[in-house]
Structure 1
Amino acid sequence: METSLPLQQRERIFMIDALRGVALCGILILNMPFFARAYQLDFDWRVLNETSMRNIASWMVTGFVLGGSFRAMFSMLFGAGALLIISRLEKQSGLGAADVYYRRLIWLLVFGLVNAYVLLWPGDILYHYAICGLFLFPLRKSSVKLLLCLCLFFVCVNMFKSYLSNQEALVKREKGLAAMALEKEKKTLTEDQKGDLEKWKETIDKRKVENVKKEVEKENKAMLKSYPEVWKHLQSTNAKFESSVFYQNTFFDIMICILLGMALYKAGILTGEKSTGFYAGMLILGYGLGIGEGLLAGITWYNAQLNYYNYIEVWPIPFTLYDVHRTFVAMGHIGLITLLYKSGVFHGFLKLYAAVGQMAFTNYLSQSIICTFIFSGYGLGYFGQFERYELFYFIFAIWAFQIAFSNIWLKYFLFGPLEWVWRSLTYWKRQPMLRTRQVELALA
């Protein structure tokens, strides 16, 4: 049986790298508010009275226009990348491909744990990708139709869960208000009614701006302490995100996009094989429906003054459309980027992002390193010091740095530093690193 070898330079697909680079940059828009400020502030602009046009626009763009679209796109490309790697490995070594593929995932899981528990980023996605990736190998030969059906199944699961959550919240309010009315009438409450009243009062208190502000102040103090103290503070959050939250929510969230990415790759959509008209349709439909729904949701939340119960009473659909929204917007991104590529005018521009995508693993983890250094107490200590719109200054600066660094690095080296480490660990053999003429000819 032929020994499995790493992906060679000639086997890279430019469009996949370019799309991944754009997605990687875009993910920072979603993550930056959690790197830089208390998580309670991400959605709630009332706490710090961030009512200026710049802050509200930032809130709308981050949460509703773009939403999780770049993370969705990144997950799609993870699915596509898995198929690309598996198909190449199978040509070399048949079922031996599974050995390499699963070793690769195990090391990805380890790096995810490092990102969460060493770099102290609770928003790590690598650990989750590694676990979701375990399910992909058996699906490698699945038809596009089957993959889309599985994707739709997970979308329906998430919608049904959100429906149950909304109904549970409405029932809690109904019972709580009924018990509150009886209390005002000085009637004796049953034990159940007392429990209903207590739960409702806890919900009201938790949503009060002054109480949320106290939680924000506690989070600010905790995150501005020494490394051991921040580690201790985040330990329970990391454990929660990589256990109960993952199995209840994140698994479905990621699998939707991974399966869709596999389908899009098999259909030749992610590799730019369709017509210009096809990608123009993706752009128009994706942005039209996705951003349209996002703006409507954002305006509804704003008019409801972020009151959850007011929102679900007004919103015409009794379940979330988040998965649909971010998928459509991500498809719009793909359509736009592919049109830029097909125009022939933007190859140089996209080449900048292709380098970022080729070093996505290094760039993803370096975002954790850079941001925790800037904002945490054991770094520069800027946590909680900036308004919502000001975070975009840091986003743009990191984008510029990573684009420049990736392109300069790949002039001299074949892989990003952490890509090289990951490859060497996966194949348990030191991989070539320097971009010499002899090595490039051997890999060509």
Structure 2
Amino acid sequence: MRTQRTLSATPDARPPSAAARIASVDALRGFSLLGILVVNIAFLASGYRMAGLAEPAFDSPLDWGVRWTVTLLLENKFYLLFSFLFGYSFTLQLDSAARLDRPFVPMFLRRLAGLFLLGLAHAVLLFPGDILTTYAAVGVALLVLRRITPRAAILLAAGLTALLALGFVLLALMAMAGHDMSGTVAGGAAEATRSDAALGSGFWEIVAEHVRKLSSIIMLRVLFQGPAVLAACLVGLAIGKLGALRDLSAHTRTLRRLQWTGFTVGLAGACFYTLAAWNGTVHKFWGEAVDLVTAPLLAAAYGATFLRLLPHVPRLGRALAAPGRMALSNYLAQSLICALIFTGYGLALVDRVSPPVEVVIALGIFTAQVLYSRWWLKGHRYGPVEWLLRYLTYCRRPGA
């Protein structure tokens, strides 16, 4: 979540090649942020989506087409891409601390503590689906594993992914054997109705609803999403240690392989997951198992394609790099804006906006963030929340 500037005395101290590499990573982070928003807005806008159901008020072919498209192409892909960048950024922070002879462990622990507090506030006040607290926990694991070799990091990531997929296979088999698995999935229509009523009410009702949801979400994070995030971070750590993003032209063959694999195996798995996501408990567990294995491949294909296209669309790269440089500020702002639109904090339009309109709103929010980020960064080195996190990390006021 860190802005991708190094800790050199001035930005101009970086060599041109490093500056280009940093800009491409920032642009990829901005691209990931857009995908995350398009997925998250459905859960921010509807108690039914948070309960694992389609909104009953929106049942047209267009509504279902948007749901299926977002599930197929975006869901569970972009948070993995963002997690990869978190692991990659970790290696940049290690290198910066070593270059400046700074004690890394206490500095990074302060950073993680700040990230955890921000995530906790975000979860309670705005969106219980917060991922910042997960990044804080995963950051501790990265700290412990910071001396791991790239090969071992890749093997560990693969092992974690395989174990998670096996867990869902076991759940699917148990459900097929007749075991009651209702406790392992989100509640039904009654849960959604209750959530809608709370989210459309006042401040304390909204906060109480978020806190209530956290109990089940924490279990999901610990057992499933946390390890998946760690696996993606470990891949990013390995790539950072190998320096594979420093000269993309030297890795064209690898990027092509990622594209071929991701857009074949990855898309096939995404199709299976999309079909399973709307076909009942047993099928959903099988879909989750397949998606855990194939979603990282599709996410890698997206990243490889984006990085290969970036030199040919420099304006797009510059536009996406701005929100990418202040991704933490923009991630939190997305939840705040959506809360003002969909909850009792503002317009209280919860479950009153169709899926196609949600996507249009998401694109509008992100466009505004691109413009705001470019304006803000003309006069500041860091985004507002990034500035606060750096203050907590280094225990001193960052530069302007």
Fold agreement, TM-score > 0.5: yes
The equivalent of 2:313 in structure 1 is 346
Does the alignment pair 1:231 with 2:207?
Answer: yes
Go from structure 1 to structure 2 and tell me whether the alpha carbon gap of 1:352 and 1:346 turns closer, same or farther (over 3 Å shift). same
Go from structure 1 to structure 2 and tell me whether the alpha carbon gap of 1:221 and 1:241 turns closer, same or farther (over 3 Å shift). same
| Counterparts of 1:420 and 1:299, CA distance in 2 | 43
Q: Which of 421, 426, 438 is 2:393 aligned to?
A: 426
The equivalent of 2:157 in structure 1 is 151
Contact 1:18 1:355 in 2 (8 A): yes
| Counterparts of 1:233 and 1:88, CA distance in 2 | 42
The equivalent of 1:135 in structure 2 is 141
Does the alignment pair 1:253 with 2:195?
Answer: no
The equivalent of 2:241 in structure 1 is 266
The equivalent of 1:7 in structure 2 is 7
The equivalent of 2:293 in structure 1 is 324
The equivalent of 1:308 in structure 2 is 281
Contact 1:24 1:360 in 2 (8 A): yes
| Counterparts of 1:21 and 1:263, CA distance in 2 | 22
Q: Name the aligned partner's letter for residue 226 of structure 2.
A: F
The equivalent of 1:278 in structure 2 is 254
Query: Which structure 1 segments of 5+ residues have no match?
Result: 174-198, 434-444
Contact 1:283 1:332 in 2 (8 A): yes
The equivalent of 1:126 in structure 2 is 132
Q: Name the aligned partner's letter for residue 216 of structure 1.
A: A
The equivalent of 2:29 in structure 1 is 20
Contact 1:115 1:124 in 2 (8 A): yes
The equivalent of 1:436 in structure 2 is none
1:61 is displaced (CA, Å) by 1.8
1:89 is displaced (CA, Å) by 0.3
The equivalent of 2:169 in structure 1 is 163
Q: What are the residue-to-residue correspondences of 1:37-56 with 2, within 5 Å?
A: 37-40=46-49, 43-45=52-54, 48=56, 50-56=58-64
CA displacement, residues 145-182 of structure 1 (integer Å, 9 cap, x when unaligned): 10011101101210121122112212225xxxxxxxxx
Q: What are the residue-to-residue correspondences of 1:44-193 with 2, within 5 Å?
A: 44-45=53-54, 48=56, 50-93=58-101, 96-117=103-124, 119-172=125-178
| Counterparts of 2:240 and 2:188, CA distance in 1 | 44
* CA RMSD between the two structures: 2.5
Q: Name the aligned partner's letter for residue 113 of structure 2.
A: I
The equivalent of 1:336 in structure 2 is 305
1:112 is displaced (CA, Å) by 0.8
| Counterparts of 2:67 and 2:193, CA distance in 1 | 20
Does the alignment pair 1:400 with 2:367?
Answer: yes
Q: Name the aligned partner's letter for residue 72 of structure 1.
A: L
Q: Name the aligned partner's letter for residue 348 of structure 2.
A: G
The equivalent of 1:35 in structure 2 is 44
CA displacement, residues 197-216 of structure 1 (integer Å, 9 cap, x when unaligned): xx59x89xx99xxx944433
Name the larger-Rg structure: 1
Secondary structure at the aligned position of 1:333 is classed as helix
Q: Name the aligned partner's letter for residue 37 of structure 1.
A: S
| Counterparts of 1:136 and 1:99, CA distance in 2 | 14
TM-score by structure 2 length?
0.89
Contact 2:273 2:291 in 1 (8 A): no
Query: Which structure 2 segments of 5+ residues have no match?
Result: none
Q: Name the aligned partner's letter for residue 158 of structure 1.
A: L
| Counterparts of 1:241 and 1:335, CA distance in 2 | 31
CA displacement, residues 207-259 of structure 1 (integer Å, 9 cap, x when unaligned): 9xxx94443322211110000111112212124434x3322222212111111
- Paired residues, what number? 385
Q: Which of 310, 334, 337 is 1:367 aligned to?
A: 334
Q: Name the aligned partner's letter for residue 308 of structure 1.
A: T
| Counterparts of 1:371 and 1:129, CA distance in 2 | 22
Identical columns (%): 25
CA displacement, residues 360-401 of structure 1 (integer Å, 9 cap, x when unaligned): 111111111111111111211111101222210111101101
CA displacement, residues 306-330 of structure 1 (integer Å, 9 cap, x when unaligned): 2334677xx6x9x712222220111
Q: Name the aligned partner's letter for residue 382 of structure 1.
A: L
Contact 1:66 1:326 in 2 (8 A): no
